[in-house]
Amino acid sequence: MEDLVVDGEERKISAKIMCDSHLFALESDRVFGHSWVFVAHESEIPQAGDFVTRHIGRDPVIVSRGRDGQVGVVLNSCSHRGSQVCAAESGNARTFRCPYHGWSYRGTGELVGVPAEREMYGRQLDRTRLGLKNARVGTYHSLVFATWDPDIPDLLTSLGDMAFYLDTVFGLTDEGMEVLGPPQRWVVNANWKFASDNFAADAYHVYTAHQSVATIGLVRAVSMADAQGTMANVADVAGGHAVGCNRLFEPGTPSDVALKSLVGMFRLPPESVAEIQKNLMSEQVEMLATFPPGVGTIFPNFSWLRAPLPGDIGGAPAPATTIRIWHPLAVDRTEVWSWALVHRGTSEQVRRDAGRAVARTFGSTGMLEADDAEIWTLMQRGLSGSQGQTRWLRYLSRTDADPTWPGPGSAHTGFQTEDNQWHFYRRWAHLMSSSDLT
Amino acid sequence: MTLITTTTRVASTEQLYGEVFDWLVDESVLLDRGLLSEWLDLLTPDATYQVPVRDIRSRFDTTERRTGEYFHYDETRSSLAVRLRRIAEPTAWAEDPRSTTRHLVSNLRVTRLESGDVLAESYLVLLRHRGQQLDYEILSGERRDVLRRGDDGRLLLASRVVELDRSSLNMVNLAVFL
């Protein structure tokens, strides 16, 4: 894979990794089989028996809450002949029954029923061997991840430098966050990595791709010159994760003043300031008060965005928080899953405003994201031909890490850099190279 | 969605039914020709416009559905005006070239409401085609519109909810209106 993700004077990646279906098939195992993959938010399945059906890479899984309150993730495929045992997208069930021969399972994967077991098999089957295949489950601030790999480090270790930043988005309040109902889903005819790459803090594209929302005055237009010094891109180099932070307050703003203002922008009650100071480390509070983390990607295909965004021109900003799965359907086809999140305990009005602010900016009809999706399909088409596949995607910008950055990870401050995205592809290449080519 | 069985149902032979159907057909023409500011003029000042997100559950799942608080569109007339202003920009890439669309409306059921408003429930099939792509994008669903007479007697859209048939939209985005 070294010839596909090429370091050197010019960092570049081969267009093949976006277009080659053989590589896509390999990715399914090597990347998605050996990473923590986001599957659900805990608030989607609050009660025992609640479930949602999701994917790890291309494999369908059931994510459910057991009678003990624990979240389980199992392959949605019967141990007898492989049929999916659940065809719904969400619901509540005590057991999942295969429609073919009737084998039944609990959400934990345990096989609990085999019709005519003695008549068919003359004995009781060894049910310990015949459960649904279990995935390892890890949760962080109610974000549920799963992996098939028994050997990769636990979720928190795998999140690496990013846990610090996720705390400042999802871990502000004691009660945490919850989803506003089921996700939007839509299908983009482009490789999933374009989207992960974009949310790995590509601030550069904003000036062209999203010019229209600045021109009409929905968001404040900042010239590229004025943006100098307002951005920080931070990478977890080993993990391929990334976060982008944007300075919201003038330098020198006292931290408590900035935090109070931020809490106002997020429409949290004033007492949240103390709650945040209690729940976060002082370095994290300091970061919120200077460069609040705004967008990020957890390798491979989970992204998030949090910003005070207006739902209307001249309207007060609402706390827009969205989380994403870039679900790989094919090498050139990605299903986007997009949720809106709010802090638990938020008033009805703020919930409404937050949902609207997310949907009007990011998501299927989002005035920013509709353009992103369109452009990713143009990239896919531009690169998919035989000449296109000989070409390179270029990540030319690189800067030295800022040693004064107060948080973990390799931070690049100033304007946008392409280091974050580069590390994302390095992680991809590492995983793609790490198994035998058999 | 409740099936309307009350005596307030308006038969297709009544004049009001024809008036509502003509209204819907004319609205489709505005949407499909990209005459969006004219389309916006069909809305009352306090109009609401919603396309909820749906999820698909088992027929036998009796647990309460979570209340939908998240929509593809959850709009007011003023927020729709913002979207229209954006689409008019030369850098609104999602709609350049403009999608060609056909809003096909059928199976109209009209009901007089006690408030004097008119409930118009109809099926919608949207055919959408984008620039260089080979395939049509197709979306189907049911519209539930409340129409109200303006001061000049014209029918105006006071509210619209579009219940889509699919949870996952087979589209690059939903940058068009339903």
pLDDT tens-digit map of B48-107: 999 999 888 887 776 655 557 899 999 999 999 999 999 999 888 888 888 899 999 999
CA quadruple A14, A15, A17, A22: dihedral, nearest 10:
-110
Q: Report the CATH number at residue B98.
A: 3.10.450.50
Contact check, Cβ <8 Å, A312/B91:
no
The answer to the question of residue B7 being in a domain is: no
Contact check, Cβ <8 Å, A215/B132:
no
In a 10 Å sphere around its CB, with 0-12 CB exposed, 13-18 middle and 19+ buried, how is residue A28 labelled? Answer: middle
Whole-number Cα distances in Å, A193 to A4, A183, A422: 14, 20, 12
Q: Which DSSP letter does residue A436 get?
A: -
Candidate from A286-290, B91-95, B151-155, B172-176 with smallest mean pLDDT: B91-95
The answer to the question of residue B63 being in a domain is: no
Q: Which residue of B has its CA nearest to A315?
A: B79
Query: How close is the nearest chain B Cα to the Cα of A91, in Å?
Result: 6
DSSP B43-97: EEEEEEEEEE------TT--SPPPPP--EEEEEEHHHHHHHHHHHTSTT-GGGSS
Query: How close is the nearest chain B Cα to the Cα of A248, in Å?
Result: 25
Give the residue ranges of DSSP H helices in A31-151.
117-121
For CA atoms A359, A363, A369, A370, the dihedral sign is negative
Chain A within 8 Å of B98 (Cβ-Cβ)? no
The 3-state DSSP composition of chain A as helix, strand, coil percent (nearest 5) reads 30, 25, 40
When CB atoms are compared, the residue of B73, B74, B168 closest to A185 is B168
Contact A281/A172 with Cβ under 8 angstroms? no
Q: Percent of chain A at pLDDT above 70?
A: 99
Q: Which residue of A has its CA nearest to B168?
A: A185
Residue ranges of the domains in chain A? 36-141, 160-433
Contact A56/A147 with Cβ under 8 angstroms? yes
Q: Which residue of A has its CA nearest to B51?
A: A365
Kindly report the average pLDDT of chain A as a whole number: 93
Give the pLDDT confidence score for residue A397 in this predicted structure: 86
When CB atoms are compared, the residue of A213, A311, A373 closest to B86 is A213
Contact check, Cβ <8 Å, A181/B61:
no
The answer to the question of residue B5 being in a domain is: no
Residue whose C-alpha is closest to residue A10's, from A418, A421, A391, A394: A394
Domain range A160-433, CATH architecture: Alpha-Beta Complex (3.90)
Candidate from B19-23, B43-47, B61-65 with smallest mean pLDDT: B61-65
Residues of chain B with C-beta less than 8 angstroms from the C-beta of A366: 173
Give the pLDDT confidence score for residue B65 in this predicted structure: 59
Task: Name which of A206, A212, A350 to mutate to probe chain B: the one with the most chain B Cβ atoms within 10 A of its Cβ.
Answer: A212
Query: How close is the nearest chain B Cα to the Cα of A319, in Å?
Result: 14
* Average pLDDT for A406-423: 91
Q: SS3 of A35, please?
A: coil
Give the pLDDT confidence score for residue A438 in this predicted structure: 36
Higher pLDDT, A203 or B121: B121
| pLDDT tens column, A287-343 | 999 999 999 999 999 999 999 888 777 778 888 999 999 999 999 999 999 999 999
Chain A within 8 Å of B58 (Cβ-Cβ)? yes
Candidate from A314-323, A400-409, B159-168 with smallest mean pLDDT: A314-323
* Average pLDDT for A52-72: 97
Residues of chain B with C-beta less than 8 angstroms from the C-beta of A335: 168
Task: Name every residue whose Cβ is closer than 8 Å to that of residue B155 and which is 6 or more positions away in sequence.
Answer: B19, B20, B23, B118, B147, B148, B149
* Average pLDDT for A153-157: 98
Higher pLDDT, B18 or B95: B18
Contact check, Cβ <8 Å, A312/B78:
yes
The answer to the question of residue B66 being in a domain is: no
Contact A32/A57 with Cβ under 8 angstroms? yes
Q: What's the number of domains chain B is made of? A: 1
Task: Name which of B71, B130, B135, B165 to mutate to probe chain A: the one with the most chain A Cβ atoms within 10 A of its Cβ.
Answer: B71
B126: its two tokens: 């949207």
Task: Name every residue whose Cβ is closer than 8 Å to that of residue A405 and which is 6 or more positions away in sequence.
Answer: A232, A234, A411, A413
Q: Say if residue B4's pLDDT is above 70.
A: no
Kindly report the backbone phi and psi dihedral angles of residue A105, in degrees, each rounded to the nearest multiple of 5, phi listed first.
-135, 150
The number of C-beta contacts closer than 8 angstroms across A and B is 146
Q: Say if residue A346's pLDDT is above 60.
A: yes
ipTM: 0.91
CA quadruple A247, A252, A253, A255: dihedral, nearest 10:
90
* Average pLDDT for A56-84: 97
A250: its two tokens: 């003038």
Total residue length of chain A: 438
* Average pLDDT for A349-369: 92
When CB atoms are compared, the residue of A89, A365, A375 closest to B57 is A89
Residues of chain B with C-beta less than 8 angstroms from the C-beta of A186: 168-174
Give the pLDDT confidence score for residue A218 in this predicted structure: 84
Distance of CA B69 to the CA centre of its chain: 18
* Average pLDDT for A333-355: 94
Contact check, Cβ <8 Å, A335/B92:
no
Contact check, Cβ <8 Å, B66/A182:
yes
Whole-angstrom Cα distance, residue B40 to residue B49? 11
Kindly report the backbone phi and psi dihedral angles of residue A318, in degrees, each rounded to the nearest multiple of 5, phi listed first.
-110, 155
The answer to the question of residue B37 being in a domain is: yes
CATH node for A36-141: 2.102.10.10
Q: Which DSSP letter does residue A135 get?
A: P
Q: Which residue of B has its CA nearest to A367?
A: B83
Give the residue ranges of DSSP H helices in A266-343.
272-279, 282-290
A270: its two tokens: 């004033």
Residue B34's domain comprises 14-56+71-164
Chain A within 8 Å of B16 (Cβ-Cβ)? no
| pLDDT tens column, A121-135 | 999 999 999 999 999
Q: Say if residue A100's pLDDT is above 60.
A: yes
Residues of chain A with C-beta less than 8 angstroms from the C-beta of B68: 181-182
Residues of chain A with C-beta less than 8 angstroms from the C-beta of B91: 208-209, 211-212, 215, 371
Query: How close is the nearest chain B Cα to the Cα of A354, in Å?
Result: 9
Kindly report the backbone phi and psi dihedral angles of residue B37, in degrees, each rounded to the nearest multiple of 5, phi listed first.
-70, -35
Q: Say if residue A436's pLDDT is above 60.
A: no
Q: Which residue of A has its CA nearest to B59?
A: A88
